[in-house]
Amino acid sequence: MRFACSPSPWSEAVQVDLLACFVSQPSDGVPAELLPIDQALDGLISSLFESGDFRGEAGEQLVTWTGGRAGAPRLVLMGVGENPDPEAWRLAAGQVARLIERYRVRGAAVLASPKATRNVVEGLALGVYRFDRYLKDEEQFDSSETSVQLLGGDDVEAVRRGELVAEGIAAARDLVNGPGELVTPSFLANWAQEVAEHESLDVKILDANACRERGMGAFLSVAQGTNEAPRFIHLTYRPAGKPRRKIALVGKGVTFDSGGLDIKSASNMLLMKKDMSGAATVLGVAKVLGRLAPDSEVHVITAATENLLGPEAYKPGDIVRASNGLTIEVLNTDAEGRMTLADALVYTSQLGVDAIVDLATLTGACKMALGDRIAGLFSDPDELGDEVRDAAVRAGEKVWRLPLDEVYWDRMKSPIADMGNIARSPGTPGATTAALFLKRFVHGPAWAHLDMSAPVWTERDEGHLRKGATGFGVATLIELITA
| Catalytic site positions | 264, 338
Torsion over CA: 83, 89, 91, 93 (sign): positive
Burial class (CB in 10 A: 0-12, 13-18, 19+), 390: middle
Return the bridge partners of 341, or none: none
State how far the Cα of 341 lies from the Cα of 339, in Å rounded to an integer. Answer: 5
* Count of alpha carbons within 13 angstroms of residue 113, beta-carbon side: 19
Whether the Cβ atoms of residue 62 and residue 45 lie closer than 8 Å to each other: no
Query: Judging by beta carbons within 10 Å of its beta carbon (0-12, 13-18, 19+), is residue 98 exposed, middle or buried?
Result: middle
> Long-range pairs for 33-39 at CB < 8 Å and ≥24 separation?
33/9, 33/111, 33/152, 34/111, 36/9, 36/10, 36/11, 37/10, 37/70, 37/75, 37/111
Are the C-beta atoms of residues 327 and 344 closer than 8 Å to each other? no
Question: What is the SS3 assignment for 266?
Answer: helix
* Closest by CA position to 100, among listed 144, 37, 69: 144
Q: Tell me 465's DSSP state.
A: B
Buried b (16+ CB within 10 A) or exposed e, 442-466: beebbbbbbbbbbbbbbeeeebbbb
Residue 44: C-alpha distances to residues 3, 11, 38, 64 (Å): 28, 16, 6, 10
Determine contact, residues 436/379, Cβ cutoff 8 Å: no
Quick check: helix, strand or coil at residue 5?
A: strand
- d(Cα 170, Cα 176) in Å, to the nearest integer? 10
The helix, strand and coil proportions of the chain, stated in percent and rounded to the nearest 5, come to 40, 20, 40
For residue 150, give the nearest of 19, 301, 284 by alpha carbon: 19
Diameter of the chain by CA atoms?
A: 81
Write out the H or E segment, with its range, that includes residue 394.
helix 382-395
Backbone angles phi, psi at 21, to 5 degrees: -115, 120
Helix boundaries (H) for 180-301: 185-199, 208-213, 217-223, 266-269, 277-286, 289-292
